[in-house]
Amino acid sequence: DAPVQQARLFLARPGQITGMVADEETRKPIANVRVMARRPWPKGGQFLGNATAFGTAAVTAADGTFVIPNLPSGEYVVDISRQRNVQDRLLTKFTDEDLQTVDQDFEHTVWPGGHGEDMAVPVILGSGGSTDVGVLRVRKVPYYRLHVRMPPSTCAPDATMQVYEQVPGSMLTISQTASCKQDFLVTGFSPGQYQLLLAVNTRDAATRE
């Protein structure tokens, strides 16, 4: 109803966030740890950011230091979570030993703060600036596995499923092509509350289970 006649553009220089990751017990730096810069969600309570889509990820060097470049100005936290790739979490071939295995991986922590998202205090990054978040001390904790057994009557033997992990505020795709006819393991669960969603792939959404 009221079209704008002028559009004003401005240039801004990207900035960077730096820091170092060290072992909580030994205080020694840790190499090859994936870290991610995330921005506060406008509605509050959570942080946005995806290492692939937004290009905000970095990996620590041999001395534990990292640089996350090309960031627009704004508020950020640095996120360290499980290092195992999402694509590797579903195991269709496993042994009895695999059923009993408890994995060890880095505890999910958000910095500055060093705990969950509710305890994080974002840092402010100015245009073209560099902000150091200091030493991020991390530790490894147990991650458990779910053994999923599908009833034979659930879907056709040649059907596939999409597998999702849902926690409050987000849903993560674990697999797009899990088989309906065999058991599988899903790795990477720290203690907490989850929903595991299994959707049978069909062309007709009305018949999807």
Note the pLDDT tens digit of each residue in 39-50.
Answer: 877 555 555 554
Q: Which of 92-101, 161-170, 175-184 has the highest mean pLDDT?
A: 92-101
- Can you tell me the distance from the alpha carbon of 76 to that of 16, in angstroms, rounded to the nearest whole number? 10
**Residue found by looking up tokens 């990477």 in the block:** 188
pLDDT digits (tens, 9 = 90+) for 171-189: 788 888 888 888 899 998 8
Q: Average pLDDT for residues 75-103, to the nearest whole number?
A: 87
Strand order across the 195-200 sheet: 170-179, 160-167, 195-200
Phi, psi of 96 (to 5 degrees): -60, -35
Count of helices and strands (H, E) across the chain: 1, 16
The more confidently predicted of residues 56 and 204 is 56
pLDDT of residue 50: 42
Closest CA to 58 of 121, 133, 170: 133
Of all residues in the chain, the percent with pLDDT exceeding 70 is 86
